[in-house]
Structure 1
């Protein structure tokens, strides 16, 4: 993953990446807190965390074009790109937030962006999966 960290962005108290994705190297299922996470503070094993965790940066951390409303601690969503797919992991405590503004409009815009032929947006909310049209 060749990502560049935005100079003015920081994880702050957000720990969604410790909860929302599944992390095989830690036997951590999706939507469950990692046993190494201190909620609101971060990783207890930061210096020895798995490579997947070391390499990961959410879109909020790398895309300066995203406004403050996309801060995961505020939006309750963690977003990242995988090739043509934009993946949105929604905090299951806020299952409808991705359907609200300003998020719904932006997700739809990404799904229809003509600059990247074949780009698509997938939203995960708990066990439910949605493709944005």
Structure 2
């Protein structure tokens, strides 16, 4: 079951809580924010100090754990140290640089391979960014 919040759909019972990985991991051109640095409006562990005035890029974004009920609790970003999101046919995984091997352990690697097999069958792919390293998951 889902609820509509702002322009995005949130899985019922899920909340960002103290997770601020979306304010840290991605590069956000609109905010002139490089990857793996906190946005200047982010209060680590608390959230956005400019929440009501945040840009559309932030307002429209939800990680896949927040918006896809098929992604289980193991993928809660604060727990797994990764943030997953979709861009068209691409599934992107951003890994907290403090935990660069997080994606290599189970249940994550097996799930990434399964997602890659499914994505490939639909013309898509899965990529993982861990610090400066980029990996394409083949699914085999």
Given the two structures, how large is their TM-score scaled by the length of structure 2? 0.90
Q: Unaligned regions of 5+ residues in structure 1, if any?
A: none
Q: How far 1:111 sits from its partner (Å)?
A: 0.4
2:86 aligned residue: 81
Q: How far 1:118 sits from its partner (Å)?
A: 1.2
Q: Unaligned regions of 5+ residues in structure 2, if any?
A: 1-6
CA distance in 1, matches of 2:21, 2:59: 15
1:26 aligned residue: 31
1:13 aligned residue: 18
> Any idea what SS the aligned residue of 2:94 has?
strand
Q: How far 1:115 sits from its partner (Å)?
A: 8.5
CA offset digits 1:15-71 (Å, max 9, x no partner): 000000011121110001111110010000001111100000000001111111100
Q: How far 1:101 sits from its partner (Å)?
A: 0.1
Question: Is the alpha carbon distance of 1:36 and 1:129 closer, same or farther for their aligned partners in structure 2, counting shifts above 3 Å?
Answer: same
1:57 aligns with 2:62: yes
2:135 aligned residue: 130
Q: Which runs of 4+ in 1 moved over 3 A?
A: none
Is the strand fraction higher in 1 or 2?
2
> Any idea what SS the aligned residue of 1:129 has?
strand
1:68 aligns with 2:73: yes
> How many equivalent pairs are there?
132
More off after superposition, 107-116 vs 28-37: 107-116
1:47 aligns with 2:47: no
> Any idea what SS the aligned residue of 1:113 has?
helix
Counterpart contact for 2:119–2:125, Cα < 8 Å? no
More off after superposition, 58-67 vs 92-101: 58-67
Q: What RMSD in Å do the two structures reach over aligned CA positions? A: 1.4
